[in-house]
Structure 1
Amino acid sequence: METSQQKILIVEDEQSIQKLLDFTLKQANYDTVLASDGEQAVELVLDEKPDLIILDLMLPKIDGMEVCKMLRMQDIETPIIMLTAKGEEADKIIGLEMGADDYMTKPFSPREVAARVKAVLRRTGERVKQTKEEILESGQLVVYPERFEVYLNKNQLEFTPKEFELLVYFMQHKNRVLTRDQLLQAVWNYDFAGDTRIVDVHVSHLREKIEENTRKPRYIKTMRGVGYKFGEQN
C-alpha cells in the first residue's frame, strides 16, 4: 500500500498543533482528515475509516481517553497514537490500557511524527500483505496471524493490534529469553529511549487474556532483571 493511499485522522483542538500535524503528514504524502473534538472524531472514524488516528488526550465534548475506549469497545482496531502533555506519565499508561497503540509527548518534532506514523502503518501493511497462512500453537493457544484471530481452548479472544503483534512475536520465538529492549525494537520498531514500561503494560494485558492465573502464568514467564520468555510451562 502506497502512503498516498493512506489516510490519517488528526484529532486535536489546539489549532497550531493541528496545523503542524496536518502540514507534516501532507508533506509525507498522507491524506489527512481533521477533527477538533472527541464527538466529531468518533463520527469521522466511522465515516472516513482512516488507516491511523492521532488522538489528543485533552479534547472538548469527549476526551481522548474516552474516544479511545469507545472505539475499542466497538471493535474498531484502527491504530491510535495518543498525544499527551509533558509529565503526564499516568495518562500515558492509562491510554495504553484503554487500547492506544503508541503515544507522543508534546512538544514533538515533525520528524518524530512522520517516523512514528510510518512505523505503525508499515506494520499494519505487512500484516495485510501476508499471503501464506501461518498457524502458531502453544498448548491450548492457537493464533492465525493472517486472519488476526486468537483462540484459547477453542474460544476466540479479542486483542488490540499491538497486543496481537506482541503475542505473535512471542509465539514465533518460543522458549527464548527476550529482553524488553528486544521487544521494543521488534514490535514497536523504533527507539523508546529505554522506556520499557510500554512492554510491561502490554504483557500485563496479554496475561489477563490468556492466563488462567496471572500470578502463576502458564505462557509468559518473567525473567527477573532481563525480560520475558514465552513457552507453555508445566
Structure 2
Amino acid sequence: MRNANVMTASSEGALCSATRRIMLISPMPNRVRNLLAALTDHCFDVFSLHEWDDGMLDSLKPQLVIYDALPIASQPDAYNRWREQELQKASSRMNIPLLLLMPEEERQSLENKASVHVMRWPSEPEAALLEIKRIAERAQDVYDSRRAGESIVFKDLTIDPGKMIVTRGPEQIGLTKTEYDLLLHFITSDGSVQTREALLDIVWGQQFYAGSNVVDVHIKSLRKKLQDNAVSPRYIATVRGAGYRLADQ
C-alpha cells in the first residue's frame, strides 16, 4: 500500500512559493504521523511508503529519504536484518541524503558508523524539522550547483563539476578521475561517515571486486595531493573502525 501525500499550502493557509520533495518510509505510519503532518505544514511534498521501493525512489528522485528504523516488537530480528540490508543498499547506490529514525540507545551506537544521518525518534516534530530543513537545504544547494555546472567550494578548495577540475587559489590540483570522484562524493555527502564498502560501490561500482584496502590506497594518494594530514585532517577525516568522512568545517 502506498500513499503519495502532496501538500501545497502551509499551516497558515498560504500557498507555498516553493516545496521540497521528501520520501518517508515507515512500516508503521502511525509512528511518524506527527512528523508527516509537520513536514506537509511546512511546504514539504511528502511521499509516504510502507516499505522500501527502488522504483519509486528512481522515479520520484526525492531530495531526502527519511527511514523509520524503529524496531517492530513482533519480529525484531527479521526487521533488523532487513533494515541493515536496506541501509547498505541505500548508502551504496543513492546520492540522496538518508535520515534514519532510531530509538536513543540504538542511535548512539550507529552514529558515525554508516553513511547516513541519524535522529532520535520519537521526539518533538518541531525539533526534527530543524534538522530535516538543514539536510534538505544542503542537498538542494549541491544539486543546484551540479545541475548548473557551478563551482562547489569547500574551505579553500574549488571544484568545477563541468570541467572536473579542483583548484586551491590559482593552483590546479592534478587528481585522477577516481581521486576526483572520491573528493566530490565526500564534499557532497554533508559530512556523513562513508564506509569503505559504500565507497567501493559508489566510486568503483558494484561490479568491482577488489578488497576495501583499495579505498585506503586512493584516500592516501588523495590526501597527499591535497597536502592533507591524516592525524590533523583539513579535508578528509578517518573514523576508526568505520571509514572516512569530510573533516569538520
Interval containing the TM-score (normalised by the shorter chain): 0.5 to 0.7
Query: Kindly tell me: are residues 112 and 14 of structure 1, through their superposed partners in 2, closer, same or farther at Cα, counting changes over 3 Å?
Result: same
| 2:205 match | none
The reply to whether residue 19 of structure 1 matches residue 39 of structure 2 is no
- Residue 103 of structure 1 deviates from its aligned partner by 1.0
Query: Kindly tell me: are residues 133 and 9 of structure 1, through their superposed partners in 2, closer, same or farther at Cα, counting changes over 3 Å?
Result: closer
How many residues of Structure 1 are paired with residues of Structure 2 in the alignment? 182
SS, match of residue 105 in structure 2: coil
The reply to whether residue 114 of structure 1 matches residue 129 of structure 2 is yes
- Residue 146 of structure 1 deviates from its aligned partner by 4.3
Q: Which of residues 221, 226, 234 in structure 2 aligns to 1:229?
A: 234
Query: Kindly tell me: are residues 135 and 118 of structure 1, through their superposed partners in 2, closer, same or farther at Cα, counting changes over 3 Å?
Result: closer
Amino acid at match of 2:62: P
Query: Kindly tell me: are residues 4 and 161 of structure 1, through their superposed partners in 2, closer, same or farther at Cα, counting changes over 3 Å?
Result: farther
TM-score normalised by L of structure 2: 0.56
Q: CA RMSD in A?
A: 4.1
2-structure distance, mates of 1:26, 1:161: 32
Query: Kindly tell me: are residues 3 and 135 of structure 1, through their superposed partners in 2, closer, same or farther at Cα, counting changes over 3 Å?
Result: closer
Larger Rg: 2
TM-score normalised by L of structure 1: 0.59
Amino acid at match of 2:88: K
Alignment of 1:52-201 (within 5 A): 52-58=64-70, 63-74=82-93, 76-88=94-106, 89-94=108-113, 96=114, 99-100=115-116, 102-130=117-145, 133-134=150-151, 144=159, 146=161, 153-157=175-179, 158-159=181-182, 163-165=186-188, 201=193
Instruction: Give percent identity, aligned residues only.
Output: 12
- Residue 149 of structure 1 deviates from its aligned partner by 5.9
- Residue 27 of structure 1 deviates from its aligned partner by 0.8
Unaligned residue ranges in structure 1 (runs of 5+): 167-186, 189-197
2-structure distance, mates of 1:45, 1:34: 11
Unaligned residue ranges in structure 2 (runs of 5+): 1-15, 72-78, 167-173, 200-214, 237-249
Amino acid at match of 1:156: T
Amino acid at match of 1:164: I
SS, match of residue 50 in structure 1: coil
